[in-house]
Chain A
Amino acid sequence: MLLKRNAKLVLEDGSVFYGSSFGFSSSVSGEVVFSTGMVGYPESLTDPSFKGQILCTTYPLIGNYGVPSDKKDSYGLDEVFESESIQVQALIVSDYSEDYSHWNAAKSLGSWLKEQQIPGICGIDTRALTKKLREKGSMLGKIIIDEKEVKKYDPNQEDVVKKVTISFATVYDPSKKTITKIKNDFDIKKINQVKRKKIVLVDCGVKNNIIRNFLKREVIVIRVPYDYDFFKFEFDGLFISNGPGNPKTCKLAIENIKKAIKDTKPIFGICLGNQLLALASGANTYKLKYGHRSQNQPCIMEKTDRCFITTQNHGFAVNPKTLPKDWEVFFTNINDKTNEGIKHKTKPFFSCQFHPEAFPGPVDTEFLFDKFIEEFK
């Protein structure tokens, strides 16, 4: 198909890449980041950690297997997608396939983007763009379609977690395969009476597959907004989810976690959760030049010979040198030596920067969910 070259990507540094529009036809702005994963665009696009970002896939052929239908399971969770909707501001690819082929596909990627009002641009030298981002760091950018200007938008300047967290505390019960919204103290009391394994999941933009992983292990999930005072619940473990943006903007969440680490109940954090736990412990975080967004990051478990291939999606990292003395490094990235997880030396608190729930990506570290649950009294 010979597409009109009607779209362009303009970066903060003034560089321009010309291409064709294939999703929703509207100009948009955001932080431009790249991901090197070769599969899983439906999962990536719906990952709330991408909120506010324009995603460039380095793998050039995108759209090949279309997009599955948005079937929901009995909890109301999407069966394939990682959240209710597409989270990225826009998508940048090299070669888009409108003609897809897969038994499980319901529509093309382009029509899905249109439905969800997300622009896409193709025909871009995504490798050249990636190299620029690698050299200059993540940048703000705009996708301009048909020369229609748009205002600059910087997701790092606002609390993006607010946009992706759940609005009500919600209980997922795997024994009944149901969900219940917590409306009042009575509901809280009722759930507190249930004598089964329970976790509080602090939702900073949680991916569905994290919830699925707990439910699969027969654990009741009490999913709460990121700024929620969850101490009203009785629970066996505290889980802090992934999410977008700068961890330091999640002030209330950090305060809550500070309280939790005074206790000894098991804590597990993923991605943003790793950073929030670190901040709560007193350590510091910083912004990486261009982040890790890929499915092939090797992380070594400290004090072992074991190295795991992990999925990642983060722009900030924990500075391991700032860890207080009762904390230690759990995982380290062997490529750039950045921190990939921390743990408490004596208490059952640990977290990882990568995504053991995968989707997209390798499932090699799924055992961390088991490790967390094993810690329950």
Chain B
Amino acid sequence: MGKLAVKHKIKKALVIGSGALSIGQGGEFDYSGSQCLKALKEEGIKTILINPNIATIQSSKGMADKIYFLPVTPYFVEKIIKKEKPDSIMLAFGGQTALNCGVELHDSGILKKHKIKVLGTQVETIKDTEDRELFIKRLSEIDVKVAESKAVKTIKEGLKIAKKIKYPIMARAAYALGGKGSGVAHNDDELKELLAKSFAYSPQILIEKYLGGWKEIEYEVVRDSKDNCITVCNMENFDPMGIHTGESIVIAPSQTLTNSEYHKLREIAIRVIRHLGIVGECNIQYALDPESEDYRVIEVNARLSRSSALASKATGYPLAFIAAKLGLGYSLTDLDNSITKTTKACFEPALDYVVVKIPRWDLEKFRHVSQKIGSEMKSVGEVMAIGRKFEEALQKALRMLGTGIHGITCNSISLNKNLGSELKNPTDKRILAVAESMKKNYSIEKIHSLSKIDKWFLHKIKNIVDTEKLLSRCNEKNIPKELLRHAKQLGFSDFQIARLVFKNKKYDENVIKVRTTRKKQGIIPYVKQIDTLAAEYPAKTNYLYMTYNGSRDDIKGSGHNSVIVLGSGVYRIGSSVEFDWCCVNAVLASKKLKYNTIMINYNPETVSTDYDICSKLYFEEMSLERVLDIYEKELPHGVMLAFGGQIPNNLAMKLHRNHVKILGTNPLNIDNAEDRHKFSKLCDDLDVDQPAWTEVTTVNAAERFAEKVSYPILIRPSYVLSGAAMAVASDKKDLDKYLEKAAEVSKEHPVVLSKFITGAKEIEMDAVAYQGDVLIYAVSEHIENAGIHSGDATMVLPPQFTYLETIRKVKETAKKLSKALQITGPFNMQFIAKENEIKVIECNLRSSRSFPFVSKVTKHNFIDIATKAMLGSVKKEQYNTIDLDYVGVKAPQFSFSRLQGADPISGVEMASTGEVACLGKDVNDAFLKALLSVGYKIPQKSVLLSTGPIKNKAYLLDSAKKLKEMDLDIFATKGTYEFLKKNGVKAKKLFWPLEKKEPNILSYLKSGKIDLVINIPKNFEELELNNDYLIRRKAVDFNIPLITNAQNAKMFIESISKLSVDDLEIKDWESYE
């Protein structure tokens, strides 16, 4: 054991995970948690992890000694404590979820009772940072200025406070929704007027210093128990104060701060962190006046955070690992710099590059959600780009978003026509509006005054816009070499250049022409290392990026004994941590076969981009251009693109055409599966059934098809992952509306229509094959009927409600297709089953979202088997994946509470942001744990039933009876009430929200009289702000569990009628045999 573990008697530590990914709490906590586990393991400390997020690396074999897939709540943590008897606990590595859980455990005396020591920052300190009043008090003790607000009740009081904080000040009406009664005042007169208005809305007004437009700066700080304290990284927001830092474009290090400002804020950071007594890692956020050195501290997060993950990837400094070691009592001088291995962890990284982070939003996926960005976080992922010019990093990052943006220019994205308003009240597209307004001759001054974006950033964007102009004056025969080099140095892609220079639209061809031209002229990117010390000392690890602002490579290619693994790219709805799990496992499996592994990924929230996962990490774009660049430098054995989801998969044909060796299934067969026509023909040839479908380019043809096969009809573009623009049309009107929407998504690919089958089961198969022979497979079933996107569905493995006959047919069909497509590697198929007839609805020749789930439930690592198959190392074995003595249930996590106004409903478009999975002795046990893990609570008093169409009412009648047997009150809407009454179930009728009569549903929701809402929508796609929407939305706003699917509702009620919380099995993963 490590010397300090012995000294401090730490033998067994409990690490609290963060649970499902949700908006505001993403993949970064898989990174921090797994680093923490590694740090503890190295010391010989036994580790226990609680985290129901089954798709994480931290919850993988070998990471922790015991892993519990259970809800992260004080109740379950205490159960585990009683069982495992740990002597210490880590609270800082599982985001706000773990921190809150830890504080509750402390406050309720559970930690003390079980003699558990909190490692790292102590709970009292955590409270100092979390409680606003305490925080202000603590910082005032050391004369540090804090952004604070004072509540006033009269105009006179307001004027007095304003004098103290100094103008401009912001007045906000307390308890008023939507910012009503808020405003900015620059002097007494303005304030008087403003307050007079505001008091009409609210009896209490908050007065605070107006910081809108101030620079937003952040420092990541590390402190050890010996009081050594360093700042590892600082970052500056491109979007000034007013936009949540999670919604801002962020640059590391700061760009517009002088030495004096940088070190003033650094000194304050260290003073604050010492005063608070933090041990480990934290971040401190500031607002900095753009006209002076005045500042305010906004907040301190006493834990690993989204920013610390970013800082860690941006600098190469392993923050989470070091923080865990410091928690054990090590000092910074004891620990090595794991990048150089020759220097110490007690230093502040010097960067010789610039890093740009851009958030990724998926706002189009949610109905009724505003596109505006502001003080609330809505983004679902982020990308990080590295360059040696800001312009280079910025354009790279924009492309990495995967939203069809090619950089600052050359986009065909439609923008708000009123650019001034877009600049002032930003949406997720403001950065493009900045460039557009420059083209419309807005001055830098004007753009600055509207957006408050620092002029330095604007000048840089202007450089790009100016260069675009120069390029567009060229033609393909004459691109001056210096201009071409300059454009590449500013981060222009070959595609952008092709689009500007070539007048025809043969993009694929032209891109390669640009590539050939520039290569002939010696204009190529160079590989640079991230080494934490700006080349002052040699670095041992290979953490890399590419730049055109260089003239020498830092490293040599790996050669034939290496494989490139393409990562998952940005997390977005439909693709997140589960694909990172697949990539990391592919790397580990390749390593086992003695290959050097080269990872390409640009997502700072991932474990695959950790310094200790692969032999080389390219923090780079996953475009054809960049992958070719890397391929040409590395000359590897081949490229694996089957693990990172749809982004790498989409590159298959393009890379293939450019003579890149793709490992696994032949790209031509990938195309045969992706292309609907080819796939459909294949199915016909093999006698595999599929729902009737057609491909149309006109509305007329669509209508004709719909009439022929009858509504409802499923509409979708080709090449989809998360169901972008997928929809179900119940009638002609719907159809016309959605066709418009689908056409926007992909002009290159026409729209596909298919018969939407109702009342059917959906079944998934995840499998691995070698040259067409299936090596291993797992069949899972959805609880919900077909029609819910598989990412939003609740999955059960092994199937509990599917006929054996159906399973057999699924298996046979998959084998047939696998043979025909000569699959080598992972694949996933989705089927619809009705009365023992199955139809294939999806076939992906890559790993799917459910690979970690099936791997962990069956305890056979599908990715390991797949990777080995792709590298030609195959062992024929029998795997048992059906006959298990336990059940796994995977449930989606939604983030509707973060998305004001969004309709919290699931359908064919995926809307969930994360997922969990739990194991149990039977399906009810596992199901209930999974639902508790994503925030459901077992109702104690009453349930609201509003069950939609008559079919569902009948379907849920038994469930309603069960609720009564459990002594729960039933409230119901009119139709449901009448149905229940007729069938002898006692219920109380409540009026619809829009009826405005009491007893009304809204007032019952508001006053907490309802603790579960079951609202089943009447049809597939409801657009109006109607009664049902209001019920669902208010349930979310008041944090009341909501179920919108009939099968799910039935399952939930059945489970709670059979089991109480005390009945749930507390068992770690390994003990399920």
| A positions within 8 Å CB-CB of B | 1-2, 5, 17-18, 34, 36-40, 42-43, 58-61, 64-65, 68, 80, 94-95, 97, 99-104, 123, 125-128, 130-131, 134, 294-298, 300, 305-307, 309, 334-336, 358-364
Does B467 belong to the interface (CB within 8 Å)? yes
B259's nearest neighbour on chain A, judged by CB, is: A40
Task: For residue A262, give the distance in angstroms from its CB to the closest CB of chain B.
Answer: 36
Known interface pairs A1-B463, A43-B259; A306-B350 also in contact (CB < 8 Å): no
The listed residue (B333, B348, B350, B459) touching A58 by CB distance below 8 A is B350
**Partner of A60 from B256, B290, B354, B463 at Cβ < 8 Å:** B354
B352's partner among A60, A97, A295, A298 (CB-CB below 8 A) is: A60
Are A363 and B267 neighbours in the complex by a CB distance under 8 Å?
yes
Contact between chains at B333 and A305 (CB < 8 Å)? yes
Quick check: B352 and A58 within 8 Å, CB to CB?
A: yes
Does B536 sit at the interface, judged by CB under 8 A? yes
A338 → chain B closest CB, angstroms: 12
Q: How far is the CA of A127 from the CA of B547 in the complex (A)?
A: 12
Report if B390 contacts A (CB, 8 A): yes
B348–A131 contact, CB under 8 A?
A: no
Q: Is B825 an interface residue (CB 8 A)?
A: no
Note all chain B residues with C-beta closer than 8 A to A97. Answer: 456, 459-460
Residue among B332, B350, B467, B528 making CB contact with A37, cutoff 8 Å? B350
CB contact between B535 and one of A103, A127, A363 (< 8 Å): that residue? A127
Pick out which of these stretches binds chain A: B222-230, B795-803, B988-996, B1051-1059: B222-230
Whether A335 contacts B343 by the Cβ 8 Å rule is: yes
Name the contact of B456 in the complex, choosing from A36, A100, A130, A336 (C-beta under 8 A): A100
B518–chain A nearest beta-carbon distance, Å: 16
Q: Is B1071 an interface residue (CB 8 A)?
A: no
Q: How large is the interface on B (under 10, 10 to 19, 20 to 34, 35 or more residues)?
A: 35 or more
Contact between chains at B347 and A305 (CB < 8 Å): no
User: C-beta contact mask, B222-261 vs A, less than 8 Å → 1, else 0?
Assistant: 0000111010000000000000000000000111111110
For B1018, what are the chain A residues with a Cβ–Cβ distance below 8 Å?
none
Q: Are A38 and B351 in touch, CB under 8 angstroms?
A: yes
Q: A362 near B263 (CB under 8 angstroms)?
A: yes
Q: Are A101 and B256 in contact (CB under 8 A)?
A: yes
B226 touches A103 (CB 8 A): no
Chain B 452-481: CB-based contact to A (< 8 A → 1; otherwise 0): 001110011011001100100000000000
A64 contacts across to B, CB distance below 8 A: 255-256, 456
Q: In the complex, what distance in Å separates the CA atom of A305 from the CA atom of B227?
A: 9
A-side contacts of B983, CB under 8 Å: none
Which residues from chain B contact A36 at a C-beta distance below 8 Å? 350, 352, 533-536
List the A side residues contacting B459 at CB < 8 Å.
97, 99, 101
CB-CB < 8 A to A361: which residues of B? 259, 263
- Whether B352 contacts A127 by the Cβ 8 Å rule is yes
Judging by beta carbons under 8 Å apart, are A5 and B482 in contact? yes
Contact: A38 with B535, CB < 8 Å? no
Assembled-state Cα–Cα distance A360/B537 (Å): 21
- In the assembled complex, B292 has its CB within 8 A of some CB on chain A: yes
> Could you give 11 example pairs across A and B, Cβ below 8 Å?
A38-B351, A39-B262, A43-B259, A102-B256, A123-B549, A294-B350, A295-B350, A296-B349, A298-B344, A334-B333, A334-B346
Instruction: List which B328-355 residues lie within 8 A (CB) of chain A.
Output: 331-333, 342-344, 346-354
Interface contact B333-A2, CB-CB below 8 Å = no
The residue from A60, A101, A296 contacting B549, defined by CB atoms under 8 A apart: A60
Docked CA distance A309–B345 (Å): 12
Given A60-B549, A130-B535, A300:B352 Cβ within 8 A: no
Q: A65-B258, A103-B290, A362-B266 are in contact. Are A134 and B389 (CB under 8 A)?
A: no
Q: Which residues of B contact A128 (CB under 8 A)?
A: 550-552
For the residues of B in contact with A, the DSSP-based class is: loop
How far apart are A41's CB and chain B's nearest CB, in angstroms? Answer: 8
Question: How far, in whole Å, are A2 and B482 apart by their CA atoms in the complex?
Answer: 8
- Point out the residue from B263, B390, B467 that lies within 8 Å of A363, measured CB to CB: B263
Interface residues of B in 522-541 (CB under 8 A from A): 526, 528, 533-538
Report whether B554 and A127 are in contact in the complex, using a CB–CB cutoff of 8 Å: yes
- A298 and B456 contacting across the interface, CB-CB below 8 Å: no
Residues of B within 8 A of A94 (CB): 388-389, 549
Separation of A300 and B226 alpha carbons in the complex (Å): 12
Query: Bound complex: CA of A306 vs CA of B274, how far in Å?
Result: 14
Chain A residues closer than 8 Å to B408, beta-carbon distance = none
Contact of B537 among A103, A305, A335 (CB under 8 A): A335
> Which of chain A's residues have a CB closer than 8 A to the CB of B263?
39, 358, 360-363
Measured in the bound complex, the distance between the Cα atoms of B347 and A336 in whole Å is: 12
Complex partner residue of B389 from A60, A103, A362, CB under 8 angstroms? A60
Question: Are B388 and A95 within 8 A (Cβ)?
Answer: yes
Q: Complex: how many Å from CA A128 to CA B526?
A: 11
User: How far apart are the CA atoms of A130 and B254 in the complex, in Å?
Assistant: 22
A297 touches B347 (CB 8 A): yes
From A37, A131, A297, A309, give the contact of B554 (CB < 8 A).
A131
Q: How far is the CB of B113 from chain A (nearest CB, A)?
A: 34
A58 and B262 contacting across the interface, CB-CB below 8 Å? no
Q: Is the CB of B536 within 8 A of A294?
A: yes
A5–B486 Cα distance when bound, in Å, is 11
Q: Does B123 contact A (CB under 8 A)?
A: no
| Residues in chain A near residue B351, CB distance under 8 A | 38, 59
**Bound-state Cα–Cα, A101 to B257, Å:** 10
Interchain nearest-CB distance for A106 vs B (Å): 13
Q: How far is the CA of A1 from the CA of B487 in the complex (A)?
A: 11
- Beyond A36-B350, A130-B534, A298-B346, 13 extra complex contacts between A and B, CB < 8 Å: A34-B536, A58-B536, A64-B456, A95-B390, A100-B456, A101-B456, A128-B551, A131-B552, A294-B536, A296-B349, A307-B331, A334-B343, A336-B343
Bound: A238/B266 CA distance, A: 31
Instruction: Give the distance in Å from the alpha carbon of A1 to the alpha carbon of B388 in the complex.
Output: 16
- Complex Cα gap A245–B854 (Å): 67
State the Cβ distance, B396 to closest chain A Cβ, in Å: 15
CA distance A296 to B228 in the complex (A): 14
Once the chains bind, are B388 and A60 in contact (CB under 8 Å)? yes
Tell me whether B583 is interfacial, beta carbon within 8 Å: no
- B535–A125 CB distance below 8 A: no
**Central interface residue in B230, B256, B257, B259, by most chain A CB within 10 Å:** B259
Chain B hits for A61, CB < 8 A: 255, 354, 389-390
Complex Cα gap A272–B75 (Å): 63
**Closest residue of chain B to A59, judged by CB?**
B352
Compute how far the CA of A134 lies from the CA of B535 in the bound complex, rounded to whole angstroms: 8
Determine the distance from Cα of A361 to Cα of B352 in the docked complex, in whole angstroms.
16
A362 / chain B contacts, CB cutoff of 8 Å: 263, 266-267, 348
With an 8 A cutoff between CB atoms, is B768 at the interface?
no
Kindly list chain B residues whose C-beta atoms are within 8 Å of the C-beta of A298.
333, 344, 346-347
- Would you call B551 and A2 a contact (CB within 8 A)? no
Question: Please, which residue of chain A has its CB at the minimum distance from the CB of B459?
Answer: A99
Q: Are B333 and A59 in contact (CB under 8 A)?
A: no
- A102 to chain B: which residues have CB within 8 Å? 256, 258
Q: Are A103 and B456 in contact (CB-based, < 8 A)?
A: no
With A103-B290, A125-B552, A306-B226 in contact, do A65 and B388 touch (Cβ < 8 Å)?
Answer: no
The list of the 10 closest CB pairs from A to B, nearest first, reads A40-B259, A99-B459, A101-B456, A58-B534, A128-B552, A36-B350, A36-B534, A305-B226, A101-B455, A125-B551
Residues of B contacting A42 in the complex (Cβ-Cβ under 8 angstroms)? 258-259
Return chain B residues, CB-CB under 8 Å to A363.
263, 267
Shortest A343–chain B CB gap in Å is 20
Cα separation A37 to B551 with both chains bound (whole Å)? 22
CA distance A65 to B533 in the complex (A): 23
Please state if A17 and B333 are interface contacts (CB–CB under 8 Å).
no
* Cα(A234)–Cα(B374), bound, Å: 64
B291 at interface, CB cutoff 8 A = yes
| Nearest opposing residue in chain A for B291, CB measure | A103
Q: What is the CB-to-nearest-CB distance from A135 to chain B, in angstroms, rounded to a whole number?
A: 9
B352 contact set on A, CB distance < 8 A: 36, 58-60, 126-127, 130
Complex Cα distance, B481 from A5, in Å, reads: 12
Distance of A80 from chain B, by nearest CB (Å): 8
Does B483 reach chain A (CB closer than 8 Å)? yes
Question: In whole angstroms, how far apart are the Cα atoms of A335 and B538 in the complex?
Answer: 12
